[in-house]
Amino acid sequence: MRHCIYPGTFDPITYGHLDVLSRAAKLFDRVTVAVAESAGKAPLFTPAERLQMIAPNVANLPHVSVTTFSGLLVEFCMAQQADAIIRGLRALSDFEFEFNMALMNRHLEPELETLFVMPNEQFSYTSSTLVKQVAAYGGDVRHFVPPNVAEALTAAFRKGKLC
Ligand code: COA
């Protein structure tokens, strides 16, 4: 059983993230989407809300589960007995951050590999921040996020939340 962890803040999950996930699901027997608390990023949604938004979008993939975590990613991965971390590389600009993170995680846990997949190029400019900005000003984000996420964004900004 090969098990990988797909970590992220997912504030909120986008079709780009789901594209990475579908690729990981083809490669591994088990995939755990791990929603990081990421308090430092001041997320719009709580970890529980982010998990709730992801769950219906992975329901068609029986070997994919979603959970939240806090603390060090490598510790979570070891506790889950995972073989690898999977991350997406949208463009060259992602590389430096991802490279440093992969090397730091390898320093902390040499046995744990990080693998990268490239999402479809149509998602190369998608980011959670941009999606939130567009939604905050009433723009249509349905091209970038699943319907339940678009609804959650509309509801959040109707309540006056700031992104
Ligand atoms: N499609 C769309 N957007 C994507 C994407 C894809 N395929 N891949 C990345 N992104 C975007 C996200 O939308 C997000 O955009 P934003 O910054 O505008 O919000 C950004 O890239 C990164 O977000 P995400 O993929 O959600 O992950 P992250 O970089 O926030 O996650 C953690 C980082 C959680 C993996 C990392 O901070 C971590 O491991 N934290 C735990 C603590 C720890 O161990 N720290 C040491 C790490 S060395």
Which of 2, 14, 53, 17 minimizes the C-alpha distance to 135?
14
- 152, part of any domain: no
pLDDT of residue 10: 98
- 84, part of any domain: yes
Average pLDDT, stretch 72-87? 98
- 145, part of any domain: no
Known active-site residue 93: no
Identify the CATH number of the domain in which residue 102 sits: 3.40.50.620
pTM: 0.95
8 CA to centre of ligand 1 in angstroms: 4
Phi, psi of 30 (to 5 degrees): -145, 135
Task: Report whether pLDDT(18) > 80.
Answer: yes
Cα distance between residue 126 and residue 96, in whole Å: 18
For residue 14, give the H/E element and its range: none
Average pLDDT, stretch 18-35? 97
- 29, part of any domain: yes
Known active-site residue 30: no
114 lines ligand 1 (CB under 6 A): no
* Overall domain count for the chain: 1
Catalytic residue (choose from 23, 30, 128, 132): 128
pLDDT of residue 161: 66
Cα distance between residue 74 and residue 67, in whole Å: 15
- What would the pLDDT profile of 28-75 be if each residue is shown by its tens digit? 999 999 999 998 999 999 999 999 999 999 999 989 999 999 999 999
- What would the pLDDT profile of 96-120 be if each residue is shown by its tens digit? 999 999 999 999 999 999 999 999 9
9 CA to centre of ligand 1 in angstroms: 5
129 lines ligand 1 (CB under 6 A): yes
Token code pair at residue 101: 């993170």
Residue nearest to atom 39 of ligand 1 (CA): 73
- What would the pLDDT profile of 132-145 be if each residue is shown by its tens digit? 999 999 999 999 99
Known active-site residue 17: yes
Q: How many helices (H) and strands (E) does the chain have?
A: 6, 5
Catalytic residue (choose from 30, 50, 87, 90): 90
Q: Are 69 and 33 in contact (CB under 8 A)?
A: no
Label residue 159 by pLDDT band (50, 70, 90). Answer: confident
Task: Report whether pLDDT(150) > 90.
Answer: yes
60: domain range?
Answer: 3-124
Task: Report whether pLDDT(87) > 80.
Answer: yes
- 117, part of any domain: yes
88 lines ligand 1 (CB under 6 A): yes
Q: Are 67 and 32 in contact (CB under 8 A)?
A: yes
